């Protein structure tokens, strides 16, 4: 990873603000998740604009000439269109139109899957320099009154430039899935069903028979149990395949889904208590496919980690699926997502989030 860039939406939503519409409290949310706040897109911010901003910063921070980028991979599960897919538009937006550009949809593990595709493409000679983006606008698909999911998700975008190196900076990506538990995290209606529902409900009174919205549902305890059983084995396999031992790991970057799960994984791996571990979840929440690059960028930008350190990285969630690797961290970003980040410049939230901010 030669460079990293990120974009964090301007609008910060604290637990106290969210609890204006949700029957909960800051203390209850933090104790169960480790989340104090999250950022949601507002005003003219879109998934397309924040993806382009993160990718542009990653290219600038990498120092690689833009015309040398010959592939772009967009990891997301919340791109607003089924057709066209997002990557070609992002490539055009950042001035590299015409290159191979495609999307990867693998939930919270999406960035890891995309990183694996990028590294394999470079090793095979299919590409030389690849931009990998993880992005989500999870706020679009949540019910802010739902105590099981409304507080969990945030928005954001992170990107890295992957390129050739004299030493192996990214070990083989280890991944897996469990379709038997797919419905533990899912959309409440499939898209075809929802389109039929929209037609049917056109003749009904929206006051008594609202068509409703497409939202994310999750069985938190079920996902927690799956993670507790599956992920320790996956992490050990990552270490084995990379040739590294726990004593070689200098930074731990787990998916930012739940602080309790992350502490449990760190303990089970036998990593030292003082070993730096990403905790971007506290003020960013769970940004799904954007979680890993955002967490890495936060650690580098704040000095909690340094470029060149060896990191154990793991994303996991919807699918259920996971993907991770052992990798050398890129240099600290010259342009970070925290530069000039001011909540006062934020615009209005989407209509379904009304009542959360003044």
- Say how many Å lie between the first and final Cα of the chain, rounded: 41
Residue 214's pLDDT is what? Answer: 86
Whole-model pTM over 0.75: yes
Q: Do residues 5 and 56 lie in contact, with contact meaning Cβ atoms separated by under 8 Å?
A: yes
Tally of CB atoms within 10 A around 339 = 10
Could you report the per-residue pLDDT of 285-324, keeping only the tens digit for each? Answer: 999 999 999 999 999 999 999 999 999 999 999 999 999 9
Tell me the pLDDT of the chain averaged across its residues.
94
Residues 52-69: tens digit of each pLDDT: 999 999 999 999 999 999
What is the predicted pLDDT for the residue at 340?
82
Question: With a cut of 70, which residues of the chain have pLDDT below it?
Answer: 344
Q: What is the pLDDT, as a whole number, of residue 260?
A: 86
Helix then strand then coil, in percent of the chain rounded to 5, is 40, 20, 40
By annotation, the residues acting in catalysis are: 108, 255, 286
Give the DSSP per-residue string, 323-350.
EEEEEEPPPPPSS-TTTT--GGG--PPP
- Secondary structure class of 78 (helix, strand, coil): coil
pLDDT of residue 127: 97
């Amino acid at each position: 990873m030669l460079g990293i860039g990120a974009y964090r939406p301007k609008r910060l939503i604290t637990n106290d603000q969210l609890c204006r519409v949700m029957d909960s409290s800051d203390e209850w949310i933090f104790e169960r998740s480790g989340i104090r706040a999250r950022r949601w897109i507002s005003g003219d911010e879109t998934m397309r604009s924040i993806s382009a901003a993160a990718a542009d910063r990653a290219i600038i921070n990498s120092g690689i000439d833009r015309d040398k980028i010959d592939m772009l991979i967009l990891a997301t599960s919340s791109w607003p269109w089924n057709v066209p897919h997002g990557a070609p538009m992002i490539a055009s937006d950042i001035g590299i139109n015409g290159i191979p550009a495609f999307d990867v949809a693998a939930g919270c593990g999406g960035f890891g899957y995309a990183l694996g595709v990028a590294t394999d493409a470079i090793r095979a000679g299919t590409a030389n320099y690849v931009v990998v983006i993880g992005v989500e606008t999870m706020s679009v698909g949540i019910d802010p009154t739902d105590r099981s999911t409304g507080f969990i998700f945030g928005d954001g975008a992170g990107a890295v430039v992957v390129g050739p190196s004299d030493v192996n900076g990214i070990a083989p990506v280890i991944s897996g899935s469990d379709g038997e538990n797919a419905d533990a995290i899912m959309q409440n209606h499939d898209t075809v069903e929802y389109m039929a529902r929209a037609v049917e409900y056109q003749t009904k009174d929206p006051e008594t028979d609202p068509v409703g919205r497409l939202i994310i549902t999750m069985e938190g305890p079920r996902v927690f149990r799956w993670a507790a059983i599956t992920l320790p084995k996956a992490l050990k396999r990552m270490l084995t395949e990379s040739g590294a031992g726990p004593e070689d790991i200098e930074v731990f970057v787990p998916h930012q889904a739940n602080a309790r799960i992350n502490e449990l994984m760190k303990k089970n791996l036998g990593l030292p208590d003082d070993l730096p571990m990403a905790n971007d979840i506290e003020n960013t929440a769970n940004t799904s496919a954007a979680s890993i690059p955002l967490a890495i960028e936060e650690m580098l930008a704040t000095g909690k980690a340094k470029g060149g350190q060896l990191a154990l990285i793991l994303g996991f969630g919807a699918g259920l699926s996971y993907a991770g690797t052992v990798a050398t961290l890129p240099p600290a970003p010259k342009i970070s997502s925290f530069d000039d980040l001011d909540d006062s410049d934020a615009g209005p939230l989407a209509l379904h989030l009304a009542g959360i901010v003044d």
